[in-house]
Structure 1
Amino acid sequence: MALLPRGQPWPPIAPDVDFETIKEDLVQEIVTGNATIYGLNSRPSLVFKYQGTPREYELQKAAGDCAIQVRGRVLAQAGSNIYCYGFLMDRGLPINPLAPMTPQQRRDYVHQMVHQTELLHSKGIVHGDLKLGNMLIFGGIRFCDFADGRYVTEAEKKWAGNTTWYIESPNRHHRAEKLGCETVPPTKEDDLFGLGLSIWQLYTGKTPHEDLVWDSEALKTLGLNRQTVDVKQVKDDEVRNKIIELLRIGGAHIS
């Protein structure tokens, strides 16, 4: 939970809510590395992202129609301090690449994924963790989990996010290596590389580098060698060429 600056009104002003008013209504659904998703018994169309940060809330809100809509921060008071426990957002449906789909349905998803990424970038926002698991269906494809995002124009030193190892682009690995860092702030090009991997996963049903997902050193070596997934596993020529284009933007060498 994050301590908010002094001067926050209490009780919260809508759409923000007091955690005490919803805590008995929560049902745990998903636990991830940095957050827990709860459903609300009385409001099934919403979920509560526990440990979602004010920064993430701000970015997801600024993303507009590119993102699952946020519906207010969940706040708590302790003495004279006010904390953000997370936020409410619309409930989207995950994309299951193994579900039966027609070729046209998959292509429609690809077009939406590309369009939403371009639209997000036109708003001056880098998602920072663009992968299929962070794309949900809510009247079309929408992005979620902006915890690693940033504004394009802000100073890189302001970024305090992290990374998902298996979607890091070769260019990002090389920037980090040059600076002697474990990771560096994401760029639009890194998002496009993640988009390419997401489309590849949509068509193959496989997590990129699934045998190395937890091996950061092996993934780093892969990236520094500018290697990536086997694009030949995607049989649709047009889609495969789009994947190649996106992966090359991120620095991958594909023959």
Structure 2
Amino acid sequence: MAVPEHKRWPPVPPDVDRSAIEVETPELSVTGNSMLYRVKGHPRIVYKSRGELREYGLQKAAGDCAIPVRGRVMLKLASNGVVVCIGFLMDLATPITAPTGPAPLHAAVLPPSRRRDIMHQMIWLVQRLHAKRIVHGDLKLENMLLDNQGQLRLCDFAEGRYVDEDERVWEGSSTWNYESPNRLLRGERMGMDPAPPTIEDDLYGLGLSIWHLYTGKMPHEDMAGDDLGLKERQRKRETVDVTKVDDPEAREVIKGLLRRGGARI
């Protein structure tokens, strides 16, 4: 029986041995359980430590909707010789942020005049991803980056899934303040917390991301640290205050997207 490519040693290019790369410290960013590092000698490449095989596969399958991945980072355990994936390499990209929000390191702060253009790019990006039958599972402004050509792309597919796969194989989490009312209620019916994400949940997250883009505020920031209070708000199908968005077109787009996730608005 042939050894799977990701289990071969030494790794088959473009996969690499962890000992073959040297990272710059401190880390570029920390997201959830993973850390992002620049790679010495490769200024346009970053190493996502603790990125998982499934995440790598989804990001690769997303094609031009995602920040390109460049190979898995492999480690051979000294204790038993087992080869494991401990992360992956991908292109360096630029975070975006609203002018009134806190700017992440190396972020591109968008002037108000570009908001509508970025909004339409966000919508088109998510439509293309869904056409590939992939649910991102964690759509938020922080996971939308500009590549080296200035095009919007997605990252962080750790909570994603294929539309047609068995829901029972999904094991993930959610960003508490981006979870749709429908997803919360579906999870309670299924006995899962959270429920596997759907296209409609992505669209709800897209609506909140556009709201964040225009307001510079995190969704439900008044509920920070109050999980029970937020869940009660979601059960009532309440959501963010869309009147805070000053662009009439964007306001209507956001309303439509939030309704797809079960919000009464």
TM-score range, shorter-chain basis? over 0.9
The alignment partner of 2:119 has SS state of: helix
Letter of the 1:25 partner, please give it: V
SS of equivalent to 1:49: strand
2:5 touches 2:12 (CA, 8 Å); kept in 1?
A: no
Question: Which residue in 2 is equivalent to 1:211?
Answer: 222
Select the residue among 166, 176, 188 that pairs with 2:187. 176
Q: Provide structure 2 residue ranges, at least 5 long, that are not aligned to the other structure.
A: 100-108
Residue 211 of structure 1 aligns to a residue in which SS? helix
The residue number in structure 1 matching 2:33 is 34
Matched, 1:119 2:128: yes
Q: CA RMSD in A?
A: 1.5
- Determine helix, strand or coil for the equivalent of 1:203: helix
Give the TM-score of the pair, scaled to structure 1: 0.94
- Aligned match of 1:50: 49
C-alpha displacement of 1:7: 7.8
Aligned-pair distance for 1:80? Answer: 2.3
What's the CA shift for 1:10?
1.0
Instruction: Report the CA distance between 1:26 and its aligned residue.
Output: 3.4
User: Which secondary structure state, in structure 2, belongs to the residue aligned with residue 177 of structure 1?
Assistant: helix
1:84-137 deviation per Cα after TM superposition (whole angstroms, max 9, x unaligned)? 11000001100111235142x111101110001000000000000000010000
Deviation digits for residues 204-227 of structure 1 (CA, Å, limit 9, x no counterpart)? 000001122332212211111100
Residue of structure 1 equivalent to 2:142: 133
Q: CA deviation at 1:41?
A: 2.2
Instruction: Show the counterpart of 1:83.
Output: 84
Q: Deviations over 1:199-246 (max 9, x none)?
A: 000000000011223322122111111000000000110110000000
Residue correspondence of structure 1 range 1-255 to structure 2 within 5 A: 8-22=7-21, 24-27=22-25, 28-78=27-77, 79-98=80-99, 99-103=109-113, 105-138=114-147, 139=149, 140-254=151-265
Q: Alignment identity in percent?
A: 53
- Find the aligned partners of 1:209 and 1:225 in 2 and give their Cα distance: 14
What is the one-letter code of the residue matched to 1:85? I
CA contact (8 A) 1:35 1:52 kept: yes
3-state SS of 1:25 partner: coil
State how far apart, in whole Å, the 2-side matches of 1:94 and 1:177 are. 34
Question: Matches of 1:192 and 1:25 in 2, distance apart?
Answer: 36
Asked whether the 8 Å contact 2:29–2:35 carries over to 1, the reply is yes
Assess, with a 3 A threshold, how the Cα gap between structure 1 residues 96 and 80 changes in structure 2: closer, same or farther.
same
- Is the contact made by 1:131 and 1:197 (CA closer than 8 Å) also made in structure 2? yes
| Alpha-carbon distance in structure 2 between the residues aligned to 1:66 and 1:247 | 22
Kindly tell me the number of residue pairs found equivalent between the two proteins: 249
